[in-house]
Chains A and B, each alone.
Chain A
Amino acid sequence: MTDRRTNATGEPNQEDEEVRRGQEERLRTVWAAPRSWRYWSAVNNTEVGVWYTAAAFGFMLFAGVLALMMRVQLAVPENDFLSATFYNQVYTLHGTAMMFLFAVPIFEAVAIILLPQMLGARDLPFPRLSAFGFWCFVIGGVFVCGSIFFGAAPNAGWFMYPPLTTNEQYTPGYGPDIWLLGLSFIEVASIAAAVELIVGTLKCRPPGMRLNLMPLYGWYVLVVAGMILFAFPPLIAGDILFELERMFDWPFFDPSRGGDPLLWQHLFWIFGHPEVYIVFLPAVALVAMIVPTFAQRPILGYSWIVLAAVGTGFISFGLWVHHMYTTGLPSISLGFFSAASEAVAIPTGVQIFVFLATLLTGRVIYSVPMLFVSGALAIFVIGGLTGVMVALVPFDWQAHDTYFVVGHLHCVLIGGMLFPLAAGIYYYWPIVGGRRLSDKLGRVAFWLMFAGFNLAFLPMHYSGLAGMARRVWTYSEELGVGMANFASSIGAFVFAAGFLVIVWDVLRPRGKEAHARRNPWNAGTLEWLTEMPGESWGVRSVPIVTTRYPLWEQPNFIDDVDKGRFYLPDAEEMKRETIITSVLDGEPLQCLRVPGPSFMPMIAAVLTGAVFIFATFHWWAATFAAMGLSVASIIVWLWRGTAEIPEKAEKNVGLGLKLPLYKSGPHSIGWWAMFITMTGDAMAFIGLIFGYYYFFTIHADFPPPAAVGPGVFWPGVALAMFALAWGAALFGGISNRAERIGTSRALMAAGTLTSLAGSAALLWGPYVTGLDPTAHVYPATVWVLAIWTAVHGGVGGLMLGYCLGRSFAGRLTPAHDVDISNVTLYWHFMGGTALLTVTTLALFPILT
């Protein structure tokens, strides 16, 4: 018999209000943020995303103050408001903070807030990873920015060219170390966010949302996260070389011992140029969401936007040398990069024309977000056009390293990123704050910012070509750029005033001001399902999506979601849950239990931060202690919070659909995360390998005759050991699945031991052949590759040991084998790494 609370199939009757109230109560309890001091253990995207955004804006305001200090100093010729040494810290920190602590993190922050909402998901797949990334970001950012209050800030520009920065003689103190280690730490956070967002867009879409129905924001996030994965790791490789030189005198960039300062420039800009697009594309993504709403029509040319996002993502990796046109590289090399730098303007142009065409074919409603979009268009197009100019090598020979470039890059970043972001703030604030921002203040802010921007940055193009180099703390009267600089300084303050109006608008006390109505802009995409004010659960039920703009195109959609007529309307088991779907067509595959609040991410971040901070000050004992503790904390985190075996195999998620609660192998999101992380890791490794072959191209005697070391024998032994461990991981997993637990445990134990032995053998090679890493760049390069691979071998061993422990603890069983299947995947990458390292170190010297 059925009572009125269940329907014919025994499911809860969503039409019954009492049923719904019960469900809502449970959902609210499950998804509620922890209270009082435990609040900071929250991991849900609605909390972490907001903290992340606030912190990024905090750093932005700090960097903005630094900018104003610079503009005061440069307002008149031969000014002495700031000293030369302090000015150099100020400009370095301005660039560093704006790029690393604002422009990139704000993408991650906004995506963490918006992406789950746009995808009708309850949370991202790895909320604790997001929280870990956030805490890393805050700790690293405070560390880097705080240094200026001790006069110890980095002072050689945000791209830190050696040998100025690697040699204590030229840059005494801790400045460059703080920059290097603080930011390396933040790069880890970025990569964590990239993993989260890629898995989020590919696997956490709502049922039915095929790739062709995904919101454009999702496409941009996917592309940008992919770019982070390929762009940041080479910089981490560069950071490793850099810090080894600065701390231990390994001569990677010292030409007197075979190094080359240009290697850093390559590694830095392989990161640095894609980074510009990593900053720009997410902001365009906001525009791609705003424009259709205010044109009140679907985007015209959806595929063209995908073309533009993916195309830009690729081509942006072929531009890095355009920051190096004046380094004396051969013309033909410069030519390739010039060609790519011109080609990248094509997809960018397409994007702009898609927006124009959408506006043209729609019935445009003009409002504050549109005002900022228009301003963005006007400014960004200037930046784009000057970008096309400086992409031409001969023109760049004049413009490079002058205020022309300063003007250009601010047009691109402020026009291409800050104005769209301001549009995004006005557009999306109701989702975060439940109320609309003031139209009046928005207009005031816009016009101040727009006028201030143009007054500040257009004259810089003139100053630069009139002979003003960038990064000068003062300039002489005869240079004739006094008026232009004065105008720039006035403009900077007007611009800052405009931005403060936005800050005020966001922070001002609202008293009893009414909440905005739901979907206040009449938009068509899922994030506007949010109630005003929002509920912590995100969506009431996870909808079935059949259109690009469900709120416009699917009848009765909001009511169906609200009444829980779609999936997961309840949290019967009092667990946080969301739905995992397939990549192409969004078919539901799994009901994922996402972890709830925990202090572990914060503790792990603090301990990892301690490693970097202690290392900065050369407190080695403390560094190693912190390293041990941070590894331990991560193991505890993983042990207690991942791959939990559910109480039942599958559950009814509603509408008669039963989904498994546990998946392993390529069907599990953990496997995807491992794959993506290791792709990034492999990129860093390729960065190091690039260093080896780079020296090969510039030196006649690199590598030196094979007799020098590390020889063939010990690397060969290491490779054999790693191969055994690789096999042990593979067959350990297979025998576990085949329920041969004993064999599987023996293999895991053997794998642990052989991988540690392999690491030892790999390090023994260069040691026993007497390679001194401080003597020449060759031994230094050999050592760094050997250490990289040995550390990965060690981690691989640790992972196998972890699996062994999980097996004994009953947390890894034949049916529930996520741990070993992910570790096996790690070992596939590790095997490749070992193979490439040993081939390079042992065989390449014989071949040449």
Chain B
Amino acid sequence: MQVFGKTQDNLWTLIAAPTIWGGHFLFSYLLAAYRCAPNADPFRGIGGTRIAIAVATLVSLALIALILRRSWREWRADGGGFRNSQDTPEARERFLEFSTLLLACLSFAAVAFETMPILLIGDCR
């Protein structure tokens, strides 16, 4: 199976998904901190902030999903499977794709975890 526009994986593509998690995390934290840090009116709703974070979350999840899809397809195209210890550039590529896939799954779950605070907490208390 041929995948159109196959990328050459490297250490940067490997850490792309967790970097998106990091960006999302930092954005959520900073926005909430900016909104709530003065702590002056803890019981007023912060709907706008929650929506902004929700949007960022959806964008991050979508980006991670793209990485997931790419690495999944390329991994399958390179033969898939859990064996990637051969001495070939293909095995190295397959290893990086599969690891990228796993990291994307983890990042997806981690970002999904970050949605829970905005669902369950509605103000600055």
Contact = CB atoms under 8 A, between A and B. Distances in A.
Contact of B36 (A208, A298, A302, A333): A333
Given A303-B95, A339-B114, A212 B84 contact: yes
A778 to B, nearest CB: 17
Contacts of B96: 211-212
Contacts of A301: 82
A212 B113 contact: no
A337 to B, nearest CB: 8
B25 A318 contact: yes
A340 interface: yes
B92 A331 contact: no
Interface residues of A, number: 42
B15 A310 contact: yes
A307 B34 contact: no
B120 interface: yes
B87 A547 contact: yes
A311 B102 CA distance: 9
A314 B19 contact: yes
A452 to B, nearest CB: 36
B121 A548 contact: no
Interface string B81-121: 01011010101101110110011001101100110111011
A584 interface: yes
B99 A332 contact: no
B39 A315 contact: no
A303, A337, A697 — most chain B CB neighbours (10 Å): A303
Interface stretch (A66-74, A342-350, A652-660, A792-800): A342-350
Interface string A310-351: 110011011000000000101111011111101100110000
Contacts of A306: 99, 102
A585 interface: yes
A310 B102 CA distance: 10
Contacts of B21: 314-315, 318
- Size class of B's contact patch? 35 or more
A304 interface: yes
Contact of B95 (A212, A343, A547, A697): A212
A307 B106 contact: yes
B32 A332 contact: yes
A318 B22 contact: yes
Given A303-B98, A310-B18, A332 B46 contact: yes
A208 B120 CA distance: 52
A335 B116 contact: yes
Judged by DSSP, the binding face of B is: helix
B46 to A, nearest CB: 7
Nearest to A300: B82
A307 B102 contact: yes
Nearest to A343: B110
B117 A303 contact: no
Contact of A333 (B33, B98, B102, B113): B33
Contact of B102 (A303, A328, A332, A342): A303
B67 interface: no
A843 interface: no
B95 A211 contact: yes
22 contacts: A208-B87, A211-B92, A212-B92, A213-B85, A213-B92, A298-B85, A310-B18, A310-B99, A314-B107, A328-B39, A330-B36, A331-B121, A331-B125, A333-B33, A335-B116, A336-B114, A546-B87, A583-B10, A584-B10, A584-B92, A697-B37, A698-B37
Interface of A: 208, 210-213, 298, 301-304, 306-307, 310-311, 314-315, 317-318, 328, 330-333, 335-340, 342-343, 346-347, 546-548, 583-585, 697-698, 700
List the 3 closest pairs (A to B, CB-CB), nearest first.
Answer: A335-B117, A212-B95, A330-B36
Interface of B: 10-11, 14-15, 18-19, 21-22, 25, 28-29, 32-34, 36-39, 42, 46, 82, 84-85, 87, 89, 91-92, 94-96, 98-99, 102-103, 106-107, 109-110, 113-114, 116-118, 120-121, 123-125
Given A311-B18, A332-B123, A335-B116, 18 more contacts: A212-B91, A213-B92, A303-B82, A303-B99, A304-B102, A307-B99, A311-B103, A315-B21, A330-B33, A330-B42, A332-B121, A333-B33, A336-B114, A336-B117, A339-B116, A584-B92, A697-B34, A697-B38
